[in-house]
């Protein structure tokens, strides 16, 4: 088409017979028109009203949460959050400047960072469905069976089925009661080891220096692997699994460039990250596959009469999570094209979810108690009064130990093990008057939220378990009190809350009931944290310990 043939605005005017060419005023036109004036006026009022309404709606919709200045081309604010300071602290300082909701960019991904309970409530109630997916990072894709696990599957029918299976079959109150023996026996075995450590090294009842970081890694690991995969795996494979987990941890804390800037995936390959992850995944998979296989063989042998099993003891016949999942699948209550992978994905995520986070929480509890000796003293007095001095604490005592429970809550308030957790928005929505487009990631900064002076008026930065008996009596950890959500909230909240609280209460109560604790130098414990997703204590926790009671107490 030549330029002259393109219809211009004047062409259209010239061709249009209905438009008056002599430009009459609106008043003249209304007078000469055949349509009654009141109808025309009403029509204009409706049109103007409609335009005005649409405009005002658009101004709200286009208002995004304030964007932090200083984004770099390509990497966005990556430089800000990957410096020497932990990410949650940097985000906390930004919240002081930009308010409780602001936007940053990590590479190509826009992220809404939220740190007020009011906005968190909107996210996990009004828009819970929109925020019910999580971004899947490279480490998850490679080392955790992609999106086959509950934690990382997209929100939808697959996730719903899997989550139902976990909450109705594995982590129910009833199941946890049935598994009590296994759980308590693993805790007891670890305490026996701790006591023996002391008897071997003691000198005239002196305090003995113990590396609690190592010991605290063992307890949750032993408990969860026993419950998930059964005792009989221990001798041969668990050590191997532990070693690979160690590698996996450090790979998870390594930033994959393609997670921030997808087209830089080749750089991850070049620096060997992809291969390292694939190798770790292969090793993990081979251990997990052997567990599943052994369970299948055990089931066949058991159904044919135990004669088929060689060298079994009673513990081998306990029903663990792998058995339960196999039995659910045999009954067609959960269907999968690849049942083994599904089971391995769930086992892997349970071990990962339960171990590190529980160890980290217990580590911070001990640090805080050592730095606040009056709290430690009060907790020991509660234990001596409620439990006595001639037996160890049992699960059934925990309901009578409110101060121990408050200590755990207060630790998770100040030192949430995962100080920032992540979701992804699947459809456009509005949070606190700000437009959140689909695809935006959501980061909840628990570290900032749970120290908010507007919510925790009395010394929000201080360790004061008493606050749960004074101002915050009704606050619990079940995800409905949005000012304290270390286990998350909404439909994707942690399903392991009761299980982990059972373990943490029992372990904490037994340590401080059974042992005298002191810092090695008398100085306060260093509270600095590592930089990864999980907030580990940056330096080992060494504690001077001695039994509080006679040897018979520990037998
Ligand atoms: C101190 C202990 C623990 C803490 C602080 C913790 C914290 C969390 C958090 C913050 C989330 C994300 C929640 C959200 O997005 O709203 C989560 C998810 C999850 N946790 Fe835990 N967790 C702990 C222990 C456990 C244990 C013991 C298990 C299982 C045995 C477990 C299994 C899971 C699973 C499967 C998910 C994913 C749920 C889903 O996406 O539907 N966690 N946890």
Q: Could you write out the DSSP letters of every residue in 372-435?
A: -HHHHHHHHHHHHHHT-SSS---GGGGGG-HHHHHHHHHHHHHS-SSSEEEEE--S-EEETTEE
CA of 172 to the centre of ligand 1 (A): 15
CA of 471 to the centre of ligand 1 (A): 27
d(CA 313, CA 323): 16
d(CA 153, CA 278): 20
The Cα-based distances of 308 to 66, 155, 190, 300, 305 in angstroms read 67, 43, 32, 8, 7
At residue 203, the pLDDT reads 62
Q: Which atom of ligand 1 is nearest to the CA of 358?
A: 1
220 lines ligand 1 (CB under 6 A): no
Cβ distance 533 to 373 under 8 Å?
no
pTM for this one? 0.85
364 lines ligand 1 (CB under 6 A): no
**What is the helix (H) or strand (E) element at residue 111, kind and residue range?**
strand 109-114
Q: What number is the average pLDDT over the span 500-522?
A: 94
Q: Which two three-digit tokens encode residue 151?
A: 């934690």
Q: What number is the average pLDDT over the span 281-292?
A: 91
Domain residue spans of the chain: 78-554
At residue 317, the pLDDT reads 64
Q: Which atom of ligand 1 is nearest to the CA of 503?
A: 27
Place of tokens 């999106």: 147
Cβ distance 543 to 517 under 8 Å?
yes
CA of 413 to the centre of ligand 1 (A): 16
Whether 160 shows a pLDDT value over 80: the answer reads yes
356 lines ligand 1 (CB under 6 A): no
pLDDT, tens only, 406-426: 999 999 999 999 999 999 999
Whether 19 shows a pLDDT value over 70: the answer reads no
Place of tokens 């009673």: 314
At residue 361, the pLDDT reads 97
What phi and psi values does residue 537 have, to the nearest 5 degrees? Answer: -70, 135
The Cα-based distances of 45 to 24, 31, 50, 378 in angstroms read 21, 18, 8, 72
Residue positions forming the annotated binding site: 494
Q: Which two three-digit tokens encode residue 395?
A: 């699960």
At residue 235, the pLDDT reads 55
Cβ distance 479 to 120 under 8 Å?
no
Question: Which SS3 state, helix, strand or coil, does residue 109 take?
Answer: strand
299 lines ligand 1 (CB under 6 A): no
348 lines ligand 1 (CB under 6 A): no
Count the Cβ atoms, other than its own, within 10 Å of residue 53.
10
CA of 500 to the centre of ligand 1 (A): 9
pLDDT: which is higher, 210 or 123: 123
Q: Which atom of ligand 1 is nearest to the CA of 153?
A: 40
500 lines ligand 1 (CB under 6 A): yes
455 lines ligand 1 (CB under 6 A): no
Of 362-371, 392-401, 465-474, least confident by mean pLDDT is 465-474
The ipTM assigned to this model is 0.99
CA of 446 to the centre of ligand 1 (A): 14
Q: Which atom of ligand 1 is nearest to the CA of 228?
A: 30
Q: Which two three-digit tokens encode residue 91?
A: 């985000």
Neighbouring C-alpha atoms within 13 Å toward the C-beta of 360:
24
CA of 144 to the centre of ligand 1 (A): 15
419 lines ligand 1 (CB under 6 A): no
Count the Cβ atoms, other than its own, within 10 Å of residue 252.
21
Q: Sorting pLDDT into bands at 50, 70 and 90, what band is 468?
A: very high
At residue 300, the pLDDT reads 85
Listed ranges 282-296, 331-345, 478-492; the one with the highest mean pLDDT = 478-492
Nearest protein Cα to ligand 1, atom 8: 487
CA of 349 to the centre of ligand 1 (A): 9
486 lines ligand 1 (CB under 6 A): yes
Name, in order, each residue with C-beta under 8 angstroms of 365's C-beta and a sequence gap of 6 or more: 407, 408, 411, 504, 508
pLDDT, tens only, 80-122: 988 889 999 999 999 999 999 999 999 989 999 999 999 999 9
At residue 2, the pLDDT reads 35
The Cα-based distances of 256 to 77, 123, 222, 268, 427 in angstroms read 16, 28, 30, 6, 26
492 lines ligand 1 (CB under 6 A): yes
Residue positions forming the annotated binding site for heme: 494
Cα Rg of the chain (Å, integer)? 30
Whether 467 shows a pLDDT value over 70: the answer reads yes
CATH for the 78-554 domain, from 1.10.630.10, 1.10.1740.10, 2.40.110.10, 3.40.605.10: 1.10.630.10
Q: What number is the average pLDDT over the span 444-451?
A: 97
At residue 367, the pLDDT reads 97
At residue 23, the pLDDT reads 44
361 lines ligand 1 (CB under 6 A): yes
pLDDT, tens only, 60-70: 456 889 999 99
Whether 124 shows a pLDDT value over 90: the answer reads yes
Question: Which SS3 state, helix, strand or coil, does residue 157 take?
Answer: helix
Nearest alpha carbon to residue 526 among 539, 544, 508: 539
Q: Which atom of ligand 1 is nearest to the CA of 417?
A: 5
Q: What is the mean pLDDT of the chain?
A: 85
Nearest protein Cα to ligand 1, atom 6: 487
pLDDT, tens only, 300-310: 887 777 555 55
Q: Which two three-digit tokens encode residue 275?
A: 């291969």
CA of 58 to the centre of ligand 1 (A): 38
d(CA 399, CA 405): 9
In order, the DSSP letters of 509-548 are HHHHHHEEEE-SSSSPPP--B-SSSS--BSS--EEEEEES
pLDDT, tens only, 212-270: 988 999 899 989 988 998 865 555 567 778 888 888 888 888 888 888 888 888 999 99
Residue 340 C-alpha from the chain's centroid: 25
At residue 47, the pLDDT reads 59
């Amino acid at each position: 088409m030549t330029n002259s043939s393109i219809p211009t605005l004047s062409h259209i005017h010239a061709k249009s017979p209905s438009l008056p060419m002599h430009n009459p005023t609106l008043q003249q036109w209304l007078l000469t028109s055949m349509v009654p004036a009141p109808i025309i006026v009403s029509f204009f009022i409706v049109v103007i009203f409609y335009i005005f309404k649409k405009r005002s709606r658009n101004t709200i919709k286009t208002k995004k949460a304030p964007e932090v200045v200083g984004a770099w081309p390509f990497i966005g604010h990556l430089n800000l959050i990957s410096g020497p300071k932990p990410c949650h602290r940097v985000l906390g300082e930004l919240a002081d400047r930009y308010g409780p909701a602001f936007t940053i960019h990590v590479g190509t991904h826009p992220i809404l960072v939220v740190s007020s309970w009011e906005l968190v409530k909107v996210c996990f109630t009004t828009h819970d469905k929109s925020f019910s997916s999580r971004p899947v990072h490279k480490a998850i894709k490679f080392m955790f069976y992609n999106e086959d696990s509950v934690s990382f599957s997209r929100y939808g029918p697959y996730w719903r089925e899997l989550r139902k299976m976990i909450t109705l079959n594995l982590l129910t109150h009833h199941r946890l009661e049935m598994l009590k023996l296994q759980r308590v026996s693993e805790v007891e075995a670890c305490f026996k080891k701790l006591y023996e450590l002391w008897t071997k090294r003691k000198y005239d009842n002196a305090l003995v220096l113990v590396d609690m970081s190592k010991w605290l890694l063992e307890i949750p690991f032993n408990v969860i692997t026993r419950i998930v995969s059964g005792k009989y795996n221990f001798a041969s494979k668990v050590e191997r699994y532990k070693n690979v987990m160690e590698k996996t941890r450090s790979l998870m804390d390594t930033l994959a460039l393609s997670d921030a800037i997808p087209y830089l995936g080749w750089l991850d390959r070049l620096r060997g990250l992809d291969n390292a992850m694939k190798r770790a995944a292969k090793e993990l998979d081979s251990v997990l596959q052997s567990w599943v296989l052994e369970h299948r063989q055990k089931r066949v042998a058991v159904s044919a009469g135990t004669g088929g099993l060689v060298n079994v003891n009673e513990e081998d016949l306990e029903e663990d999570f792998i058995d339960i999942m196999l039995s659910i699948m045999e009954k067609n209550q959960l269907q999968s094209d690849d049942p083994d992978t599904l089971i391995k994905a769930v086992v892997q995520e349970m071990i990962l979810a339960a171990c590190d986070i529980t160890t980290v929480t217990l580590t911070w509890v001990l640090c805080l108690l050592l730095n606040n000796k009056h709290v430690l003293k009060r907790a020991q007095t509660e234990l001596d009064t409620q439990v006595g001095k001639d037996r160890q604490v049992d699960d059934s005592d925990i309901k009578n130990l409110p101060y121990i429970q408050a200590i755990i809550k207060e630790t998770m308030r100040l030192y949430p093990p995962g100080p920032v957790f992540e979701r992804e928005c699947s459809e456009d929505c509005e949070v606190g008057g700000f437009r959140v487009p689909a695809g935006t990631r959501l980061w909840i900064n628990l570290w900032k939220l749970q120290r908010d002076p507007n919510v925790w008026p009395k010394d929000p930065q201080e360790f004061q378990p008493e606050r749960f008996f004074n101002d915050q009596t009704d606050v619990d950890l079940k995800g409905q009190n949005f000012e304290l959500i270390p286990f998350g909230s909404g439909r994707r909240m942690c399903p392991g809350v009761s299980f982990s609280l059972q373990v943490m209460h029992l372990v904490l109560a037994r340590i401080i009931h059974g042992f005298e604790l002191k810092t090695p130098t008398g100085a306060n414990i260093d509270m600095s944290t590592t930089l990864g997703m999980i907030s580990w204590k940056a330096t080992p926790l060494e504690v001077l310990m001695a039994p509080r009671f006679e040897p018979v107490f520990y037998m």
